[in-house]
Amino acid sequence: MSTKFVHFVEPLAKTSLSEFLAFAVLLASTLGITKAIYNVFFHPLATLPGPKLYGMSPLPISWSRYRGRIPYTYAELHEKYGTIVRVGPDEISCASPSAFKDIYGPRYGKGGPLTRDTRTAPLKDTFGAVGMFQADVQEHARIRRQLNPAFSERASREQEPLVMGYIDSMIRKLRNTTANGKPVDVEKYMMWATFDIQGDLVFGEDVFKCIENEQYHPWINISMTFFTGGVYVHALNDISPWLLWIWQRFIVPQRITDAFTYHLRTTLDLVDKRMAAGKTDHPDYMSFITSESKAGEMLTKEQMYANAQMLVMAGSETVATASASTLYLLLSHPETMARAEREIRSSYDSDQDITAASVAQLSYLVAAIDESMRVWPPVATSFNPRQVSSGGCTVDGYFIPEGSMIGIHNHAIGRLESYFRDAKKFVPERWLGDERYAEDARETFQPFSSGPLNCIGLTMGRLETRVILAKLIYNFDIELMPECSDWLGNQKNYIAWHKPPLMVKLTPVKRA
């Protein structure tokens, strides 16, 4: 052993434990302060607008995520600092029309689409395949081609009776439940209906029976915790991957582990059962994938495992949120509700005349839904930020270096007066040619995202939202209960909005 090494370690052998711990704390503090100074003054993103505290450390934005306040935080930061804001040492939030092309677009001649941030995505080992919502650009394109037959125009037409059946069941249950004149949580029924629809489309049968039993299935309750857990994972990973590892390895309660194990096993069993049935006459997703997929593009069982949960969640929770938020905003603006009632009730002679094609012609209802998704988008924040690839990129005139995380956040965009006049007001007329809003930047309204990774189910989502609202308003006079006057203001966001009960009084419409 070298003499120099012996001289180096000899003092350490004589150091007490308290002295060693003090030295370790001092070293860690020095490194932390040095890192903070570098982040604020010398980091490649140091010149971007944004609060210095957010550029110094990931703690402020992680704390906002933990508290469920992230959409509000982004909106406040963009109102103060403009269209591009540094929200973390390596993270940027954008809110501009050009950013959609720069970040989410195909980026022809610029190195191709930016990749998703997959640092906290489920591992491929979990299912034996990667899901579409976590896949890179190339893998996403392959999975999307495999799923496309299930989301075609022909599929939507043939799936319409299935969708209508569940929504009609919801209306019947609401009639029975409100016969005594008591208020009801209508948002809950919307959630039940949309989960029943998507459960049937993904798994080939009424697996959840939410409307029938008037309660949530355990699979759904656990799925919702995935969203909250995902946000916590994201926040911990931003602070320290080691902290995330410690939390996952030693702190996660056994009851949560057991619940996730049950959820995973149930999902696998449901996929196995549906795929074993093969091609059927039932118009679910698998029937169209089986019958219309090209050779070599059929989904494997592992790919269905990886995609099943998110297909259900993305196609149900978001639709229920859009439906409930639109209904609340209509009810809290009585003049808009009166106009929606006149349009819907004058367009149909009976409830059975309400179809997917006809609701698309209800211009005021369509405008109200769009305005609701601008004011209160179901996907309020960037679900998967993009990671800047080799060579960096330019967004809004700022150079963003390789490795940075960058995202666009709908809640922030929709509330900027620079893009939308009366941005915080609910004004469906802005989508109907009202001259007061002729200068609105409508290209920034992208509730289903944009580019090659946009939402595959937007056609079905729009159909369900329009039909749910049309049938509710056609069948019932609806009164918002006073305790729900600030229903939107009481919500937290963990990828999905955590919504309190939307209590309303439903009175069946009397017709001659």
pLDDT digits (tens, 9 = 90+) for 264-303: 888 889 999 998 888 788 999 988 888 776 666 677 888 8
pLDDT for residue 505 is more than 90: yes
Please indicate, yes or no, if residue 100 is contained in any of the structural domains. yes
- 3-class secondary structure per residue, 182-208: CCEEHHHHHHHHHHHHHHHHHHCCCCC
Please indicate, yes or no, if residue 16 is contained in any of the structural domains. no
Would you state the structure tokens that stand for residue 474, as one six-digit string? 């056609």
Please indicate, yes or no, if residue 351 is contained in any of the structural domains. yes
Max distance between CA atoms of the chain, in angstroms, equals: 104
C-beta separation of 65 from 234 below 8 A: yes
The mean of the pLDDT values for the chain is 87
Please indicate, yes or no, if residue 410 is contained in any of the structural domains. yes
pLDDT for residue 2 is more than 60: no
Please indicate, yes or no, if residue 32 is contained in any of the structural domains. no
**What's the total number of domains in the chain?**
1
Task: Residue count of the chain, please give it.
Answer: 512
Please indicate, yes or no, if residue 31 is contained in any of the structural domains. no
In tens, the pLDDT along 106-126 reads 776 677 777 777 665 555 567
Residue 408's domain comprises 43-508
C-beta separation of 167 from 211 below 8 A: no
CATH of the domain at 427: 1.10.630.10
Tell me, what amino acid is at 504?
A: V
Please indicate, yes or no, if residue 34 is contained in any of the structural domains. no
pLDDT for residue 216 is more than 50: yes
The span from the CA of 67 to the CA of 169, in Å, is 37
Please indicate, yes or no, if residue 25 is contained in any of the structural domains. no
For the ranges 16-30, 180-194, 270-284, 389-403, the maximum mean pLDDT occurs at 180-194
What pLDDT shows up at residue 120? 55
In tens, the pLDDT along 25-67 reads 666 667 768 888 888 898 999 999 999 999 999 999 999 999 9
pLDDT for residue 364 is more than 70: yes
What pLDDT shows up at residue 8? 46
| More confident call, 454 vs 412 | 412
pTM for this model (two decimals): 0.90
